[in-house]
Amino acid sequence: MDARGFSLIELMVVAAIAVVLGAVALPSWQSSHLRSGRLDGVQALMKLQAAQEQHRSLHGLYASDLSALRGVSTASLQGQYGVSLELTGPEAYLARATARGAQAADTACRELTLSVRQGFPTEGPAPECWRR
């Protein structure tokens, strides 16, 4: 037996340990990656809210279209979310950030919502989707 190398059994044990560790770590890493991706959607909705409040202070009403808001587009900064806006009343609107691409695998928070009525926001669908 050669004392300078590893036996086949030792290599197989190390490979098995590596596979088990990978199987445990990968889902945790993917979950963490999706949670961090939510920040892109949250940031897009917060930017939209600030632009809406600026529009409201200048014009007396919320904008009904994204194109009327300065610095807001139909996609989030990193492109992981599509952004949409609809008026839900004279002093209310609903903004949505819908996950795109790999971020769409985030089933719990695939769509982030921001409902604002008379300047008071309600974040959805759940508080954990908005943790910053």
- Which pLDDT tens digit goes with each residue over 94-119? 999 999 998 998 988 999 999 999 88
Domain locations in the chain? 8-130
Residue (of 122, 125, 112, 116) closest to 42 by Cα position: 112
Give the model confidence (pLDDT) of 11-37 as tens digits: 888 888 888 776 776 666 666 667 778
- How many whole angstroms separate alpha carbon 12 and alpha carbon 5? 14
Q: The whole model's pTM is what?
A: 0.75
The tokens for 87 are: 């008026």
